[in-house]
Amino acid sequence: MSYIKNPSSIEKRSFQIIKSEIRDQYPDYQFQSEMEESIIKRCIHTTGDFDYLKTLEFHQDAIESILSVFQEKGTILFDSPISLNGINKRVLDKMGVTYVCLVPQGCGLKSGKTRAQQAIDLAKEIAGPKLFAFGESTEGLTYLLENMNAGELDAAAILALPVGFQDVLEVKEAVRQSSLPSIVNAGYKGGATLVVAVLNAILYQTGQVETEDYVRYSTKQNQE
């Protein structure tokens, strides 16, 4: 067996295989836009799962709303340090976009609220347009929606990608039924790494990331 040592060659070959599989297994499949194609293929590349062709949903001009958060130098709020660690911070810094993990450090329960609820309360103190990127906490996402319905918190867009079983289907459906710009994955699948895949795919398509730099960054993150 010959080994491919150049990361960019591995990346290129991987996407060639993905393209070939889609062509052979889903010959009638049509992507709605170049951006959606990039996101879905990146999710497949990250997970090895072609179900994302059918389950990843884009609602209420979600991509345009996410791009607006970037353009307006807003804030991305994560529910997992895994997602925070995986995004291309160099490019976000260049764009002037702030990013923070909402998990409170050393947060107790004196307020009578759970850690997830207290994390959402922290978001109320952050000014400017906000993108909530959730891949783990269904409770946090539920509490976020409650606060938004009560008019206590605004979101420019939501990545509703939690993985799991408890209340996962219900909270994803609640996001679907709202008027919020959102990217939702139907079913039980999702996760922090899926959040990374979606955001990095969008950043790549903005033209802020050169191909070689993107591959180097992705490889570095996979090694850490």
Known catalytic residues are 45
d(CA 4, CA 9): 7
The CA-CA-CA angle for residues 32, 91, 138, to 5°, reads 60
- Helix, strand, coil content of the chain in percent (nearest 5): 55, 10, 35
How many residues make up the chain in this entry? Answer: 224
The CA-CA-CA angle for residues 39, 218, 129, to 5°, reads 55
